[in-house]
């Protein structure tokens, strides 16, 4: 078993001591997330909140647009889907990641407040992220971005939605950036067992998240809407854009990302994996306290620029 890097271990011990997500239930977990993760005020990245129309419906999809200072137009763009197991997550809880993504990759970032399970199981969140990807391309002039350089990014469950949206969107998607993607609803990978009790995310948490996203388990685990590893429609993996995948070694999702990298490579897709053996799930959020996480952001930016 890979050992947790001592710097990450120290940072985790300083976090609030809370029950595992699956032990809390949906409402308590969301309340705790709102308490622990709040909107950042650091840096000079400018933000604008706005709605995006949801086709055929009266309600809209809230998004937050991030623009680093001095960014020339038309700029590259990344539509970002937050993590949270398809059950948790808000624009505010993902604010720090979205700001860093914008600043480190010199991109306009559009963070998506997609619908969550269990109220809105698969494929509601996927539909929302796909809609915003298409909107970003159509609204390139308004956003000050290059429609040929609209990409998609995501963290954990949001990385799943990002990868799927890149395949399904009726738009040009130039790049995919995935942080520790959550892709295997069967949970039969070696890392799911090896790191079943890992810090920040456990196998039991994943079981709970997947069950809720699968409409209390009624959606079969081999439904292709659940993951690009299950067969992407209408496109094959060979149609995937160039992709960057970040994985941590002390994460039950380690093998999800590794399998996807292998599948993309086998399909002839340009893909870069950035793997950090001693890092836990969600480690990019610890960049303020762990130098290795800050260095990982630099690595990520270099990989994005290399594939862009």
Distance CA 16, CA 10 (A): 12
- The predicted pLDDT at position 79 comes to 98
Closest C-alpha among 31, 132, 100, 28 to residue 285: 100
244-262 confidence digits (pLDDT tens)? 999 999 999 999 999 999 9
| Rg of the chain in Å (alpha carbons) | 18
- The predicted pLDDT at position 236 comes to 76
- The predicted pLDDT at position 187 comes to 97
Of 15-24, 150-159, 198-207, 237-246, give the lowest mean pLDDT range: 15-24
pTM of the model: 0.96
60-113 confidence digits (pLDDT tens)? 999 999 999 999 999 999 999 999 999 999 999 999 999 999 999 999 999 999
251 is catalytic: yes
- The predicted pLDDT at position 41 comes to 64
281 is catalytic: yes
Confirm whether 266 is domain-assigned. Answer: yes
Q: Does 40 have pLDDT greater than 80?
A: no
Closest C-alpha among 272, 267, 266 to residue 235: 267
- Kindly state the percentage of the chain with pLDDT values over 70: 97
Phi, psi of 21, rounded to the nearest 5 degrees: -55, -45
Distance CA 143, CA 36 (A): 31
265-286 confidence digits (pLDDT tens)? 999 999 999 999 999 999 999 9
- The predicted pLDDT at position 1 comes to 61
Residue with tokens 């997550």: 89
Q: Does 39 have pLDDT greater than 80?
A: no
pLDDT band at 203 (very low <50, low <70, confident <90, very high): very high
Residue 71 is classified by DSSP as P
The residue range of the domain holding 102 is 6-307
**Active-site residue (options: 107, 111, 156, 191):** 156
Indicate which CATH number applies to the domain containing 250.
3.40.50.1820
Confirm whether 39 is domain-assigned. Answer: yes
DSSP string for residues in 82-127:
--STTTS--TTTTHHHHHHHHHHHT-EEEEE----TTTS-TTHHHH
Confirm whether 117 is domain-assigned. Answer: yes
Beta strand 60-67 pairing with 46-53: antiparallel
**Active-site residue (options: 205, 251, 255, 256):** 251
Of 42-46, 142-146, 293-297, give the lowest mean pLDDT range: 42-46
Confirm whether 50 is domain-assigned. Answer: yes
Domain count, the chain: 1
Confirm whether 105 is domain-assigned. Answer: yes
Q: Are 52 and 61 in contact (CB under 8 A)?
A: yes
**Active-site residue (options: 82, 192, 195, 281):** 281
Confirm whether 61 is domain-assigned. Answer: yes
Beta strand 271-280 pairing with 243-250: parallel
Mean pLDDT of the chain, nearest integer: 94
Residue with the larger pLDDT of the pair 157 and 42: 157
pLDDT band at 18 (very low <50, low <70, confident <90, very high): confident
- The predicted pLDDT at position 95 comes to 96
Q: Does 234 have pLDDT greater than 70?
A: no
Confirm whether 1 is domain-assigned. Answer: no
9-26 in b/e burial notation, b at 16+ Cβ within 10 A? eebbeeeeeeeebbebeb
DSSP string for residues in 139-185:
THHHHTEEEEEEEEEEETHHHHHHHHHHHH-SS----EEEES----T
Residue 192 parent element (H or E) = helix 190-194
32-58 in b/e burial notation, b at 16+ Cβ within 10 A? bbeeebeebeeeebebeeeebebeeee
Q: Does 9 have pLDDT greater than 90?
A: yes
Distance CA 151, CA 78 (A): 5
- The predicted pLDDT at position 43 comes to 75
């Amino acid at each position: 078993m890979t050992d947790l890097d001592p710097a990450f271990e120290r940072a985790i011990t300083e976090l609030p001591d809370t029950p595992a997500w699956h032990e809390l239930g949906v409402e308590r977990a969301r309340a705790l997330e709102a308490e622990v993760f709040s909107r950042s005020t650091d840096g000079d990245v400018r933000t604008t909140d706005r709605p995006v129309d949801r086709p055929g419906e009266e309600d809209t999809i809230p998004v937050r647009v991030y623009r680093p200072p001095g960014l020339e137009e038309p700029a590259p763009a990344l539509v970002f889907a937050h993590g949270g197991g398809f059950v948790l997550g808000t624009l505010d809880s993902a604010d720090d990641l979205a700001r860093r993504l914008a600043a480190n990759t010199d991109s306009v970032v559009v963070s998506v407040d997609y619908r969550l399970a269990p109220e809105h199981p698969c494929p509601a969140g996927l539909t929302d992220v796909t809609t915003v990807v298409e909107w970003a391309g159509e609204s390139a002039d308004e956003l000050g971005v290059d429609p040929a350089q609209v990409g998609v990014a995501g963290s954990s469950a949001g990385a799943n939605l990002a990868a799927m949206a890149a395949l399904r969107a009726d738009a040009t998607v130039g790049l995919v950036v995935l942080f520790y993607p959550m892709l295997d609803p069967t949970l039969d990978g070696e890392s799911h067992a090896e790191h079943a009790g890992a810090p920040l995310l456990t196998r039991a948490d994943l079981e709970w998240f997947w069950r809720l996203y699968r409409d209390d388990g009624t959606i079969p685990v081999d439904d292709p809407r659940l993951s690009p590893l299950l067969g992407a429609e209408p496109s094959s993996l060979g149609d995937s854009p160039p992709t960057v995948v970040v994985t941590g070694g002390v994460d039950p999702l380690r093998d999800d990302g590794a399998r996807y990298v292998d599948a993309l490579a086998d399909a002839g897709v340009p893909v870069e994996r950035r793997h950090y053996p001693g890092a836990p799930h969600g480690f990019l959020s610890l960049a303020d306290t762990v130098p290795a996480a800050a260095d990982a952001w630099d690595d990520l930016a270099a990989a994005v620029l290399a594939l862009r």
